[in-house]
Amino acid sequence: MNRIKKGDQVVVTAGKDKGKKGDVVRVAGDKVVVSNVNIIKRHTKPNPQAGQPGGVIEREAPIHISNVMLFNPASGKGERVGIKVLEDGRKLRVFRSSGEAVDA
């Protein structure tokens, strides 16, 4: 079970965008794409068949999953996440500091 999922609100803990908050758009292995974080400029050629204009396009680049923390709205900070196994075998994500469930 991954500690960070699509749709989670995270805080960047390292790099040029340290301290920024955003929602996870995509998780791919050990990298995540966070909205409005790690913006890069991509120079693209026009593709008339796809109706795509050329030019400089700004988009989000992936950031390593170790450089983000899940945002806890109760404390207002990024916190570590653990996994708790329930009696029926289901797994539940919990904040390490308080023990409360993430998906509550």
In this structure, is residue 104 part of a structural domain?
no
User: What pLDDT, in 10s, does the model give residues 49-58?
Assistant: 999 999 999 9
- pLDDT score at 56: 95
In this structure, is residue 68 part of a structural domain?
yes
Domain hosting residue 60, numbered range: 8-95
In this structure, is residue 70 part of a structural domain?
yes
Residue 104 has pLDDT above 60, yes or no: no
Q: Read off the pTM.
A: 0.83
In this structure, is residue 2 part of a structural domain?
no
> Any idea which residue has 């900070």 for tokens?
77
Residue 103: pLDDT band (50, 70, 90) is confident
Tokens of 70: 């899940």
In this structure, is residue 28 part of a structural domain?
yes
**CATH number of the domain that 59 lies in?**
2.30.30.30
Q: By the 8 A CB rule, do 68 and 32 touch?
A: yes
What's the domain count of the chain? Answer: 1
User: What pLDDT, in 10s, does the model give residues 71-87?
Assistant: 999 999 999 999 999 99
